[in-house]
Structure 1
Amino acid sequence: MILKDRVAIVTGGAQGIGRAIVDKFAAEGAAVAVADINREGAEGAAAAQPNAIGLGVDVSDPAAVERMVADTVKRFGRLDILVNNAAIVPFTAWDDVDFAEWRRIMAVNLDGVFLTSRAASDEMRKAGYGRIVNVASNVIVAGTPNLAHYVAAKGGVFGFTRALATELGKYGITVNSVAPGLTETEGVLASPHAAAFDFVQSLQAIPRRGVAADIAPSVAFLASEEAAWVTGSMLVVDGGHTRH
């Protein structure tokens, strides 16, 4: 169990990749705070684990993020790991992206990463230990139509990851990112992105659809002691889609 007795927050943990991360962390021995805008979903995901709590959290709300960290520490005594997975995945042609939608995507997908990292790292610095893993996306490498604001936000997540790793290393905190490719989740299957699976699969070195359980082990590795000498890095997990 590579995360035995660790305490983690996973944002966007009610379904999809986030839920797979919650399940993997619990299987590896971690106590988990499942944070999601969908409180009922977060509580359901937590109820399936032996040592977890579900929290309704809007990661773009500074006060809600502070409460998330405080509630986690109150319940488990400390905070070792933060996984920034919460995100909105839009599907909007560039000509239709107005400033309100641009700001909505940035507020959750990038501002949220700042807010949670600020609150969590303040707590981690007290202990001189921490792991922050940000879920980015391979679209920042490949570029994808109808996702300009999402690509911009996820590119910001990667840049922020590298900068924050530099800032926090001296406190015993590592900061890394995982960049999934198109992944078969409930949200993707219910969106226009599902139509891209066959095309994306044709570009991959591994010719099958990626699933959420393909992503979670990489996040667990970066959150563990096995990655103690890894920081400021991005691990691309996309079946070889962006190898070229």
Structure 2
Amino acid sequence: MNALAPALSEQIVLVTGGARGLGAAINKAFAAQGARLVINFHRSASAAAALVDELGGAGRAVALGADVTDRDAVFDLVARAHEHFGAPVCTVVNNALADFSFNGDDRAKPDTIDWPAFDAQFRGTVAAALNTTQAVLGDMRSARFGRIVNIGTNLVQNPVVPYHDYTAAKAALLALTRTLAADLGPDGIAVNMVSGGLLRTTDASAATPPAVFDAIAAGTPLRAVTTPDEFADAVLFFASPWSRAVTGQNLVVDGGLVMD
């Protein structure tokens, strides 16, 4: 497995929910290293098209729409990506987020939250990651190489704001990360997670009051709120040859707010 790990410049990378916010930052970070990008989007077609242009056009990136909770749509997405680049996806970043607003004052409380809220988060997080994994598994096994990076949250370790549905789904994704790592390691496939706190700023965190950002910054050793660009750097590590002996891990990237 270690000897076959390609450089980032040789990889074809699928980032789900990759047109805006953190997903766009991850795509830009991979592009800066020469990777070719599959920019998945659901409703953000114009943003995805603009990002393709920014990253160098069709030779460097392709925007492909698909609802990642739809298994057939994901398999079709992966097939279209293979056709476009003439080679299979070898790295997947499961970044897509079910609709959610990080506003602690407006969160659902334990006595009112209902199961559909949990179901939406589990479908958008766990089912989506399972769909992408299954869609790329055949090619990764054939190549004896694959990288799957799941995006998590430090709220699993430190639920300072009890977003019950969102955090439960991310905790389940962490469990799936580890079971997949144990099962797929012999095939040369590494599965890891990068977990962040509140990022300054994405669409999801736009509803967060400025005072909350300031309080988080004051509570970190680095005295700063992590940016999407900083978070993306850690994602690149798990896709790179530098992480060739690492799998089943959860790296918390939040300025040291949570030390796990």
Residues 32-181 of structure 1 mapped to structure 2, 5 A cutoff:
32-37=37-42, 38-50=44-56, 51-76=60-85, 77-88=87-98, 89-91=100-102, 92-94=107-109, 95-181=111-197
Q: Amino acid of the residue matched to residue 95 of structure 2? A: N
Q: In the TM superposition, what whole-angstrom CA distance separates every residue of 1:173-232 from its partner, at most 9, and x where no partner exists? A: 110110111101231442246552122222211111211011111111100111110000
Q: In the TM superposition, what whole-angstrom CA distance separates every residue of 1:109-144 from its partner, at most 9, and x where no partner exists? A: 221111111112232112111111111111111014
Corresponding position: 1:31 with 2:36: yes
1:133–1:219 Cα contact (<8 Å) kept = yes
Q: Amino acid of the residue matched to residue 49 of structure 2? A: E
Residues 223-234 of structure 1 mapped to structure 2, 5 A cutoff:
223-234=239-250
Q: Distance in 2 between matches of 1:240 and 1:26?
A: 27
Structure 1 vs Structure 2: percent identity of aligned residues?
34
2:155–2:161 Cα contact (<8 Å) kept = no
Q: Amino acid of the residue matched to residue 22 of structure 2? A: I
Q: Over aligned residue pairs, what C-alpha RMSD do you find?
A: 1.7
1:8 match: secondary structure: strand
1:2–1:29 Cα contact (<8 Å) kept = no
Q: Amino acid of the residue matched to residue 193 of structure 2? A: S
Equivalent position of 1:8 in the other structure: 13
Corresponding position: 1:204 with 2:209: no
1:187 match: secondary structure: coil
Equivalent position of 1:240 in the other structure: 256
Length, aligned pairs only: 244
1:47–1:53 Cα contact (<8 Å) kept = no
Tell me: CA distance 1:193–1:73, structure 2 relative to 1, closer, same or farther (3 Å): farther
Tell me: CA distance 1:196–1:110, structure 2 relative to 1, closer, same or farther (3 Å): farther
Residue 96 of structure 1: CA displacement? 3.2
Corresponding position: 1:213 with 2:223: no
TM-score by length of 1: 0.94
Residue 43 of structure 1: CA displacement? 2.1
Q: Distance in 1 between matches of 2:248 and 2:61?
A: 28
TM-score by length of 2: 0.88
Q: Distance in 2 between matches of 1:56 and 1:157?
A: 23
Q: Distance in 2 between matches of 1:120 and 1:42?
A: 22
| Residue ranges of structure 2 left out of the alignment (5+ in a row) | 1-5
